[in-house]
Structure 1
Amino acid sequence: MDTPPPIPLPVPDRLPDQAARRGMPSLTRERRAPTPGQMLRRRLTVGALKWLLPGAAVVLLAAIALWPEFDRSEDRGRLSFRRLTGGVPDAMRVVSPRYDGVDEQQRPYTVTASVAAQQGADPNIVLLTAPRADITLSGGEWIMLESDDGRFYRNTNILDLWGRVTLFHDNGTTMLTERAHVELNAGSAEGDAPVAAQGPFGTLVSEGFRLTERGAVVVFTGRARTVLEGGR
């Protein structure tokens, strides 16, 4: 059998260098010029550092120089606080107070308010903000009185109300006035300010009122005018 002729190998245009012949990568790399954006960022960073470093040094030196003043002002603040806490308050305030009691016939009543403040030397006199009195009647009915402000005498169970005094009766009667004097033990109330009332009977205006027998009897005093429901 004849031997086939050898296949000619391609000859490169130029021979690789000695490093390539040994299988080693080239130690040189191509250097690229920075882009305009990179140059701008470098300039901004250098400019910012030129201002930040001196500024930080100035702040540090100022803090070191003023530190004794900070210590003295802290001492003065502590002294002022001790003086304030050592004083005696002019009034004792209680939020959402509640007073429960019974009248002469053991019928319960309750006096509440949004704020109670005790002022003056007499501990039995309490000033009330938004007071409200709930009184239970003998037959199970109830009366509720409320106003803007009031004064409660705890030793005598007397309640003085003023500023938009409103009385609600269980039978649907509503009465509006500006002042009312309420004796909780006796179950009575009275006032000499103009009164406007509305209920199942109709409407009524008068110069004052008196409420006795725990709301069973209401007398309107002074000149009064009434408009009855249904023309009665």
Structure 2
Amino acid sequence: MTATGPQISDRQEPSAAAARRRMSVQQAPSHRRPPTEIEQARRRMLLRSAKWLLPVAALLLLGSIAAWPELDRSLNAGRVAYREASAVRLDSGSMLGPRYRGLDAHGRPYMITADTARQVDPERVNLSRPIADMLSQGGTWLAIRSRSGVYMQHSQLLDLSGHVMFYRDDGTIMTGPTAGVDVRRGIVVSDDWVHAEGPFGVLDAQGYLMSQHDGIVQFRGPGRMILNDDHTARPQPAAATTDPGHS
């Protein structure tokens, strides 16, 4: 009979090797090197730069957020202007689809469009089928159109002729052969006959003057008027006019 020593099974060998590796790692001396003076100076410089850069970046971000609406409006206006410019075509010296935009003397916007425009001189522009869109003092929208017209750009005067039709968003419609529009002052005037229909009734006169800023309309007689709320009234040509020049 022979004596045998203790034997290590296959299951114990891996665990013993892992324990030896852990002990060697724990007993291994640390080789971490302290930072040099140059590295410390570089770190201090980075910290000082971060103290300045971070607030500046925050201010830039807040400023961009505050300025974004104005930038967006400018970009949209540029895109609209580009689309309008791309829609305008030149044909034998005439401009097709012109648009004239501006503000009147009271800061209200207006726009004049036409099928075609021909620049006669630096001041005068001949228009075909012009339409003038304006706003009154109370915000009422109104438009006046005709077959032809002449627009004086610097003085902002528009002369219309050929089936002039005036429309206001309260349902008032006036028609006549001619009309003059002072776009800057918001005044429409005509010395020819006019036929008006609207919520008030029906009116015929020999001319009119309309001031959008003052909110008044004056008709020149002789004329006649039928009121919608006066069922017993009959057309009265000159009796309804107390002033021979206005009614």
TM surpasses 0.5: yes
Q: TM-score range by the shorter chain?
A: 0.5 to 0.7
Q: Within 2, Cα distance between the matches of 1:155 and 1:202? A: 38
Q: Within 1, Cα distance between the matches of 2:142 and 2:162? A: 18
Which residue pairs with 1:118 in the alignment?
119
CA drift of 1:150 comes to 0.2
1:67-106 paired onto structure 2 within 5 Å: 92-106=93-107
Query: 1:209·1:218 contact (CA, 8 Å) conserved in 2?
Result: yes
- Structure 1: state its 5+ residue gaps: 1-90
What is the letter of the counterpart of residue 179 of structure 1? T
- Structure 2: state its 5+ residue gaps: 1-91, 232-247
SS at match of 1:231: coil
Which residue pairs with 1:183 in the alignment?
182
Q: Within 1, Cα distance between the matches of 2:223 and 2:214? A: 19
What is the letter of the counterpart of residue 132 of structure 1? I
1:6-41 C-alpha deviation (Å, 9 max, x unpaired): xxxxxxxxxxxxxxxxxxxxxxxxxxxxxxxxxxxx
Q: Within 2, Cα distance between the matches of 1:116 and 1:141? A: 28
What is the letter of the counterpart of residue 130 of structure 1? R
Report the number of matched residues: 140
CA drift of 1:224 comes to 1.3
Q: Within 2, Cα distance between the matches of 1:230 and 1:160? A: 35
- TM-score normalised to the size of structure 2? 0.55
CA drift of 1:138 comes to 2.4
- TM-score normalised to the size of structure 1? 0.58
Q: Within 2, Cα distance between the matches of 1:200 and 1:215? A: 20
Identity %: 36
What is the letter of the counterpart of residue 229 of structure 1? N
Inter-CA distance 101–210: structure 2 relative to 1 (3 Å threshold): same
SS at match of 2:132: strand
CA drift of 1:228 comes to 0.5
What is the letter of the counterpart of residue 102 of structure 1? L
List, as ranges, runs of 4+ consecutive aligned residues in structure 1 with deviation greater than 3 Å.
none
1:105-139 C-alpha deviation (Å, 9 max, x unpaired): 110000000000112xx222000000000001222
Which residue pairs with 1:141 in the alignment?
140
Which residue pairs with 2:6 in the alignment?
none
What is the letter of the counterpart of residue 147 of structure 2? D
CA drift of 1:163 comes to 0.3
Q: Within 1, Cα distance between the matches of 2:185 and 2:196? A: 23
Larger Rg: 1
CA drift of 1:216 comes to 2.0
Query: 1:181·1:189 contact (CA, 8 Å) conserved in 2?
Result: yes
Query: 1:143·1:215 contact (CA, 8 Å) conserved in 2?
Result: no
User: Once superposed, what is the RMSD of the aligned Cα atoms?
Assistant: 1.4
SS at match of 1:223: coil
Query: 2:137·2:215 contact (CA, 8 Å) conserved in 1?
Result: no
Q: Within 2, Cα distance between the matches of 1:125 and 1:92? A: 14
